[in-house]
Chains A and B, each alone.
Chain A
Amino acid sequence: MSKQRPNYLAGLGSVVWLLVVGAPLYVLVSASVQSRADYGASGPLSLPRHFTLHNYVDDFSTGFGRYFLNTVIVTVCVVAIVLVVVPPLSYTIVRSRGRVTTAVFRLFLLGLAIPAQAVIVPMFYVISKAGLYDNLIGVILPTAAFSLPMCALVLTGVMRDITPDLYEAMAIDGASSWRVFGQLVLPLSRGGLATIAVFSALQAWNGFLFPLVLTQSDSTKVITLGLYNFRTQYGINVPGLLAAVVLSMVPVLLVYLFARRTLVQGLMGVGGK
């Protein structure tokens, strides 16, 4: 936008939305640092009277540490898979001229529209038959597969922006696909790689449906399942529950603080051209 008078209406709207977003987040944090008695007495909107980290300690003693570890394992593996298979895919989509490549790209575009719910029944069937039921591997594979379309789209967009002149120059030097990929494409799409890593990590960290259906025991629980069970088990311990919600957000918020640019720019690209 060019310089104009401040737009008071838009300013007002933005403050209203800030309240809509901020108020629940405030309650979330403030309740998680109160004792149950205090929270029960003063209600959710009040200021906390006594600050305590007791709820957090309690959560960890009831198994949240284990859920955390499982979620970290799933997330790291999903990101690793994505970073190995997506860059060559996007490189091909951008550089290769052929019907097959176009078809592949369309397949992934369509993949954006395949909801995880749609395949959860056969996934349960396949994973059970493969002996991976209640095993983290059985959660990792489908989770990674389902973050591929979005990652492919984002990274393809990034690689498209590499000037063809650079490719021409390398081609004149007689560089092989491998060299072009290693020395030109990867270094120039570093930002895109960071974006898809962050994006797929977020997907994996927050995943719920696959773990819900494909695991059952406590030793394979991830955080989201832990939250879900917490709600059904101790529905009344509000501060403890909300402390658990905060715990599930902390790593994500840290990533957001340090990699906000990366994530945001990548996601912006989705709306694209």
Chain B
Amino acid sequence: MTQLTAQRPDLATAPLEPVRRVRVAGVFTIAIVAVVLLAAIHLTQGTSSVNAGDLLKLVIGQGTDNSANVLVASRLPRLLAGVLVGLALGVAGAGLQSLARNPLASPDTLGVNAGAYLAVVIFAAFGISLPTLPSGGIAFVGGLAAAVLVLSLSAGGTAGPTRLILAGSAVAMALAGVTTLLMLLYREETIGTFAWGAGTLVQTDLVAVKQMAPIVAVGIIGAMVLAPKLDILALGDDTASVLGVRVRRTRVWITLVTVLLSAAAVTVAGPVGFVGLVAPVLVRLIAPLVPGLMRHRVLLPLSGLSGILVVIASDVVLRAILGGQAGVEIPTGIMTMLVGAVVLVWLARRFRDSGPSRQQAGRAGGGLRTRRTFWIVTVSLVVLLVAALVFAMLAGDAFLRTGDIVNWINGRSGRAITYVLDTRFPRVLSAVLCGAALAIAGATVQAVCRNPLAEPGILGITGGAGVGAVVVLMAVPTAGIWLLSGVAAVAALATFALVYLVSWRGGLSSDRLVLIGVGVSSATTAIITFVIVYTDPWNISLAMTWLSGSTYGRTLPQVIPVAIALIVLTPVIVLARRELDLLSLDDDVPRILGVRLERTRLVALVGAALMTAAAVSAIGVVGFVGLVAPHAARALVGGRHARLLPIAALLGAVLVSVADSLGRTLLAPAQIPAGLLTALIGAPYFVYLLWRTRAVKL
């Protein structure tokens, strides 16, 4: 596994450096002054005409009642909410990073925010209106469950950054899938939670802030009490035990405290993205200049201050650029998410690759099954696919019978059946083709990245295509499928090029590629939400479809780009199957055998990106297929790509097809987008994969 060879020594020894009191005090002073200045600017921004002059008059006792009211009932609540959320998330982030001994841990990457948010939405959907305090308790339980799951999947975070991030992303995606589903089905009940879901600071009273402030205070005091033990824990579990720290108990306590802080923040403002990641990073940046900054007694409160700076600065910049009105329309969390994504990418770029000690994705030699097994699996899957196809054609609001299909094929069916099958056919076809395309793209990406957990979605390619498609839909509502596919393809390639180039540091490290991909894919989610909220805020169905994938209303022309991509690109990838086998081994073997490493990689990845883009423009953003299908295929027939690719394609086709059929039938006549069900089927399987391999370091 890639170790944080650059960071580990800092993390381990920095806490023990002597504290330079004067310099540390200086840093605190600068941070507090910055917070005060930003807060002052923050107070002058808003949707009313009350400006800096009015507030100044208020200070010298000549203000109007109006400006006093605006200050007390709108500006201050918003500012205080920002301060409380920033503080809580900053401290929580620093605590989680120390707990996981991993600078990429945060309330977002551990799924805490997603868990807490889901818990809140469940209550909104079922119309259970709770006072702030118990609803904070619900958020705490949701966040805690998610954190415990992710931490146990990633061996407490010590299994390395890639594993932590992937476990966190998978759990967060699955939870977000359930959240979206609820919002889709309870549209009127949850109308207020959509923008709120990205984290907003709009506050109408101080109730939430007042009720959550004591909880945040308890959390911070708890963290400070634990601080000396965290210093010792940074030396390693064994050393800490020898020095008399009860490692397990300390870990449990710090988990509870940090989840409590994150849940309080979600209760006040919704999941404000990535603050817990960015805040401690900023502190770590200046740590080399100021010895002692990494002592937890200093690190924790300073991360809190840093968190306040991030939240308030994001809010100030958003409203300075787009005007006070934007502060209502655009959730602050979108801004912090974009900032956070940049920081995540920057952090990932600093990782050094510790060499070829990793387990390969392909293990082309290992896990090889007999030819007989391969054929049995192939035949079974073909039968299964045919069964899935037949089931998909039969299933719906009203179940048809096979005789109906026979009649339909022979052109003898009646009007109603003909129509139902005519409309079902493109849907079924798009599900099957997109499933196959995403699976092939996933298998290719995993081979090239030499990481069994990579996939087009995690590399940001799917999100990039989604951004392209949504922008086209908003700019040219009448756009045809070719324009949509074209722009989605260009955007997917551009996003991929960005990820590829940024990951390049004298060579391509696959772990760096995955980490940077996760950062970029978060950014694309933020951009899609931004575009929809800014241009068509009332079109929630559109938002849901483009953020979760749907086969609804597909027609045959929309399926053509995917079909073409499959027909043209599959042979290319199949021709490169030997190279893919070699690539998935390590860097040296292919070079020795005369494979032009970078060119092959690039061709394979471009092919995968194009296939992904075609699939996304047909059915929207569908995750997990590219991840799960190749994995299952590898388990069935081993890692040789000549066998892996067809099996993965079949599995992908079956998975999306079944998800689509279920989506149309489970709650009929209401329809669940196929992408959501794919996530709900795929995510648990992925979590299971992580669980099974948790002892083996990736």
Are A and B bound to each other?
no
Interface residues, chain B, with chain A CB atoms under 8 Å away: none
Interface residues, chain A, with chain B CB atoms under 8 Å away: none
